[in-house]
């Protein structure tokens, strides 16, 4: 389930070529704070996936509502 969520989120990623510097910038719309840069598109994509994984783990640990990506969501329930 988590792998499918990560996959769908990565499909929603947007990438830009950095004009002033060599490299790429990537972000995922709806996942605030999830962005990365890299010298190559593949480096940027790999870094973005790592940032996304950490963002999901922190969000789950803190009980945050995570966005849905292409019909896939992770339900976070509070444990008290």
Question: Which of 58, 56, 61 shows the shortest CA–CA distance to 74?
Answer: 56
Q: Is there a domain that residue 42 lies in?
A: yes
- 7 lies in a domain? yes
Task: Let me know if residue 10 belongs to a domain.
Answer: yes
Query: Rounded distance, CA 43 to CA 48, Å?
Result: 8
CATH number of the structural domain spanning residue 54: 3.30.160.250
Inter-residue contact 15 to 41 (CB < 8 Å): yes
Coil vs helix vs strand at 35: strand
pLDDT (tens digit, 9 = 90+) per residue, 9-28? 999 999 999 988 789 999 99
- By residue range, what is the domain housing residue 8? 2-62
**pLDDT by residue (tens digit) across 26-61?**
999 999 999 999 999 999 999 999 999 999 999 998
Angle subtended by helix axes 41-62 and 2-11, to nearest 10: 130
């Amino acid at each position: 389930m988590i792998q499918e969520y990560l996959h769908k989120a990565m499909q929603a990623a947007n990438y830009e070529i950095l004009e002033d510097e060599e490299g790429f910038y990537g972000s995922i719309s709806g996942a605030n704070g999830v962005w990365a840069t890299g010298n190559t598109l593949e480096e940027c994509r790999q870094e973005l996936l790592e940032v996304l994984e950490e963002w999901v783990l922190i969000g789950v640990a803190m009980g945050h509502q995570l966005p849905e990506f292409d019909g896939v969501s992770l339900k976070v329930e509070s444990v008290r």
